[in-house]
Structure 1
């Protein structure tokens, strides 16, 4: 991906980028840094490896290139439709692993990532596509998944598809030279890929993390070693209020014993005066969770605030808050439009989190009921309701499905159910509770259209029809896409 600065016309910049891209793809190993050593590959996987020239015929939903080899359809990362490449194919038992050795001819849709670690970290699966190609890819994915329900609207894209993440977490460790490094884990491993800058992270967050890395030696602060259980710093999490400008820094450590913490906080604040709060989170667990239960405020109030759709939200270290506020406003605006609120309706905000969608809906609804399993999130939602002077919203801790079943048993009614479940989607127990309550409209917001399509089939079998489907590009440079759908009760 090239850094797009305003130098000359878009056409000339695009032409320069294509020229650079072809040079890099055809001759420059420095830019791509694919693992091109078959011996290393064979040693790592313990099986035979061959190099084959293949042509990409399409993309998977994860953005991997598809090609045919010995009559089998295989997938490989970083390959685009129409491109021909040399691919290293390794077999070990029933498993086949693929890796690009060299792209022979590049697609017009290819962009060159500015950092070599892009190919190793796996965080931005389609960073090698131009943004126009990314939008087409995501539209095609949604169109295919949603074909049984109707024709989706054109995807809502982002004007500046970079620097959007308001939450950034980096892991710390030591390299073979015993030097402190920080970055992201390589896919399916606990090997840290050193990373200084990502074009989807907030630049301030990356700068702060690099400053912390540079301070560690002088403060005799050791990164945590998962194998030995020794060391102190595991991760650093930075949250940025995109509209407020407030910044939270969370040091995730293996122990609460933080020697020299006052001097460390003072030095970091001197380097970055924009930091408004700092916390120490203690995580001595051995699983993949980033944050532990124990938390101590080192400076400031322990939370930050940000504005979304005209409302102010308080965000804690553990709060779920959409990572792309610019696109979130577009998504929520569309969701509220689909709810067709006139000021009289009772709205249920299932999986309500800290209350973002429900509080936005409260501005046009008669009454909002938010339900969430996480107690901390419910507390945040209640605080956010009071902060914004909202009188017609109530938030409860519990299972949303059970709550709706109880409402139906009491003869109570809801006009609209808005749900924004995790990537795994809803379960049948929840969906059956929706069909028992029979709201006139269901607005389904999803970060995983595959599980959304599965759940919509259930609702359709039980009395609903799909009226509108709107994809939103919430996560540029990645294969993920958000989608909001409106379902209407047929009898109504």
Structure 2
């Protein structure tokens, strides 16, 4: 995952024109292409699922068209509701006629409304097969990936949760997640992939709101105060941050609120107020005030302490992060002498882990706030052999090559969109002996690896990691070696 410091991440709902969408018993599937125009025609069809898309939807054929249907498994026959409007075709699962042996009842009662998880209707073995086969198919041109690294307890892993607040028809305070593709709040008591303590805190906040004059924000009228609550939990440290995202800096009853929340949850180590008064899908605003504590929490990876702020990126699943980063460092084959470049370094997580085994680490990141955090984290851990620079990593490497400087290893961990050709060409110009590509999107990773293998590199290892159980997301780390170097091995 990309480790850049967020300037206020987006919520999971679409913009407001989608808010009036009705709740569905099953998530939506569709055929790509076309705009919804003209009169809608709806029919019920019996179909058979022939496979899965990379995001876990079932593939079916209907009147010569390939449709995608959420929550359907290969080999299953089912009735689907097919809607047509103009050139747009949408298919939704109505009922499964012949279920697969891999089908289970989703343990989450909100599963078919929420959309945050996509695979809970599969048993654990099928989920792992699906992710393994997805990576295997994408990486086939480069070799056979290793067996996916799974998680012993594939629940409760998220160290960050985001809850939206509102009022129901009875004017009662509700808190939960948006229904898929809408701004309609699903009232939730428990999300099975959240840290349980985070959900307990949200439950308490909802009760405080219900018994006070403080009102949830209404995005239709622009009235109300509390928009969202963000909770971050240090899985190792036990420290907890709570961020109240509010519509106004005027917090009436602030002292009573803070007192009540701290009394109910003395484990909270810091409490912040973030002001977001914009009509936007961004969750966090620019203005921030610490109400209690130091405003940050710390957590530990590989024995190193990292400071986490409200806006800084820190991997969501630290248990699996140690597996992912551990494999990346293993692939880098560090002996204590190498110069390593950590492109997209963010707050310095991979850089500082690599510094324990490298001669020198250079972290490069566009976001100046993230660079500042990386420097602070290096000082916190007493690390002397890591330096951080604000700028474009591709340009940085081109300049290094022009000066005749060398790097032995480049570690790259780009966002889901992958890297662009300008960055990849800069890697080729610098000619590091090894490139370690950490990816949260194997599709763009495979695209980028194709460029690197056409320009002097050979793939010597691919390791998928299940970072987000119950969802279709899968991460992978790949080792690429300069061909002239590989020939001497």
TM-score scaled to structure 2, two decimals? 0.90
1:108-123 aligned at under 5 Å gives the runs 108-123=101-116
Give the secondary structure class of the aligned counterpart of 1:183.
Answer: strand
- The Cα offsets for residues 175-203 of structure 1, whole Å up to 9 and x where unpaired, read as 23332222222222222222221111100
Contact in 2 for aligned 1:117/1:194 (Cα 8 Å): no
d(CA) in 1 for partners of 2:212, 2:149: 47
2:302 is aligned with 1:318 = no
SS in 1 for 2:215: coil
Structure 1: which 4+ aligned runs deviate by more than 3 Å? 32-36
Q: Indicate whether 1:453 and 2:439 are aligned.
A: no
SS in 1 for 2:395: helix
Moved more, 376-385 or 438-447: 376-385
Per the alignment, residue 47 of structure 1 pairs with 40
Query: Taking structure 1 as reference, are residues 35 and 440 closer, same or farther at Cα in structure 2, changes over 3 Å only?
Result: closer
> 1:399 maps to which residue?
392
Partner of 2:133: 140
Q: Which residue of 1 aligns with 2:9?
A: none
TM-score (norm 1): 0.90
Contact kept? 1:35, 1:101, Cα under 8 Å: no
Secondary structure, in 3 states, of the residue corresponding to 1:47? strand
Contact 2:26/2:70, CA 8 A, preserved across alignment: no
Task: State yes or no: 1:388 paired with 2:376.
Answer: no
Distance 1:33 1:462 in 2: 49
In structure 2, distance between residues paired with 1:35 and 1:359? 41
Residue in structure 1 matched with residue 181 of structure 2 by the alignment: 188
Could you tell me how far apart the structure 2 residues matched to 1:360 and 1:384 are? 11
Residue deviations 1:329-355, cap 9 Å, x none? Answer: 000110000101000000001111111
1:416 matched residue in structure 2 = 409
* Structure 1 unmatched runs, 5+: 1-31, 37-44
Change in 2 beyond 3 A, CA 1:46/1:195: farther
Separation in structure 2 between the aligned mates of residue 244 and residue 46 of structure 1, nearest angstrom: 57
Q: How does 1:58-457 map to 2 (within 5 A)?
A: 58-457=51-450
What is aligned with 2:6? Answer: none
Number of matched residues?
454
CA–CA distance in 2 between the matches of 1:33 and 1:72? 24
RMSD (Å) for aligned C-alpha atoms = 1.6
Does the CA-based 8 Å contact 2:26-2:71 persist in structure 1?
no
Q: How far apart are the structure 2 equivalents of 1:160 and 1:313?
A: 24
The aligned counterpart of 1:24 is none
Deviation, 1:35, is: 9.0
CA contact (8 A) 1:33 1:116 kept: no
Q: Which residue of 2 aligns with 1:42?
A: none
Higher relative contact order (CA 8 A, sep 6+): 2
Alignment CA distance shift 1:116-1:99 (3 Å): farther
Report if aligned partners of 2:108, 2:192 keep a CA contact under 8 Å in 1: no
Gapped regions of structure 2 (runs ≥ 5): 1-23, 29-37
Deviation, structure 1 residue 103: 1.5
